[in-house]
Amino acid sequence: MQISGELSGSPFPGACHEAQLGVMPLVRPHEYAEAMRFERPSRAPVLLSPSQRYLLLKNLVIEMRRSLPEISVFGVRLFGPDFNVQLPRELLSADVFITHAPLDLLPTLLESGTRNIVLIHHGLRADPIEQGDNELVIWLLASGPELRAGVETFLRESEVLRVLGNLRLRSVLAEEMPRLGEIARIGLRPSPADGSAQ
């Protein structure tokens, strides 16, 4: 199953958080000119600080573990430049793989016999130099009748999913599995879905 949506406002309304934006050590005019080359025009505003982004991802992993204890491994996309922000313990667990490209983990995981996999891709901007459209995409690659109730519980009770706009669900077909990474790179925007779980 693929679950996707976009963050359109703060997932932590009413809470104050430090911006955590570092200041570049710029002194000379040409240094400022070079720094401007890092700017990335985007229609998506910065809605999170780096620690809020980690908190949102941590909460997602916690919610999925609670609803779906059968999940054996999580692949979570993380990227800088938030070098001075400590990762939550839950994202450093032995069953959480941190990577720039979670879908690239899939072939190795499947070849090793790993099942009940969750891959989390996001473009949640926490700094103006980051690319992304504040999207969050979750691939729940699991099957079995015992998981259906857990999926329904997760979809119904997830606080993380509640803060996403334009929420879409789509079944992932078995024949898509070998090409999942390619499909994701073509476009993370699936068509509106039937909402059924795999």
What pLDDT score does 191 carry? Answer: 38
Sequence length of the chain is 198
What pLDDT score does 180 carry? Answer: 67
Strands in 73-77's sheet, in edge-to-edge order, are 96-99, 73-77, 117-122, 135-141, 2-7, 164-170
- Is residue 159 assigned to a domain? yes
Q: Could you list the residue range(s) of the whole structural domain that residue 78 is in?
A: 2-8+26-186
What pLDDT score does 165 carry? Answer: 92
Q: Which residues, in sequence order, are CB contacts of 126 under 8 Å at separation 6+? A: 20, 46, 48, 49, 50, 52, 53, 82
- Is residue 65 assigned to a domain? yes
- Is residue 118 assigned to a domain? yes
- Is residue 129 assigned to a domain? yes
Say how far apart CA 179 and CA 106 lie, in whole Å.
Answer: 10
Q: At what angle do helices 50-67 and 145-157 cross, to 10 degrees?
A: 140
- Is residue 161 assigned to a domain? yes
- Is residue 113 assigned to a domain? yes
Task: Enter the tokens of residue 101.
Answer: 């490209």
Say how far apart CA 51 and CA 170 lie, in whole Å.
Answer: 30
Residues 6-17 have pLDDT tens digits of 998 888 888 777
Written as tens digits, the pLDDT of the chain (198 aa) is: 999 999 988 888 887 777 776 667 788 888 888 877 777 778 899 899 889 999 999 999 999 999 999 999 999 998 765 667 889 999 999 999 999 999 999 989 989 999 999 999 999 998 877 888 999 999 999 878 778 899 999 999 999 999 999 999 998 776 776 666 555 554 444 334 433 333
Say how far apart CA 181 and CA 192 lie, in whole Å.
Answer: 20
- Is residue 177 assigned to a domain? yes
- Is residue 196 assigned to a domain? no
Please state the domain count of the chain.
1
Residues 89-121 have pLDDT tens digits of 999 999 999 999 999 999 899 899 999 999 999
pTM: 0.82
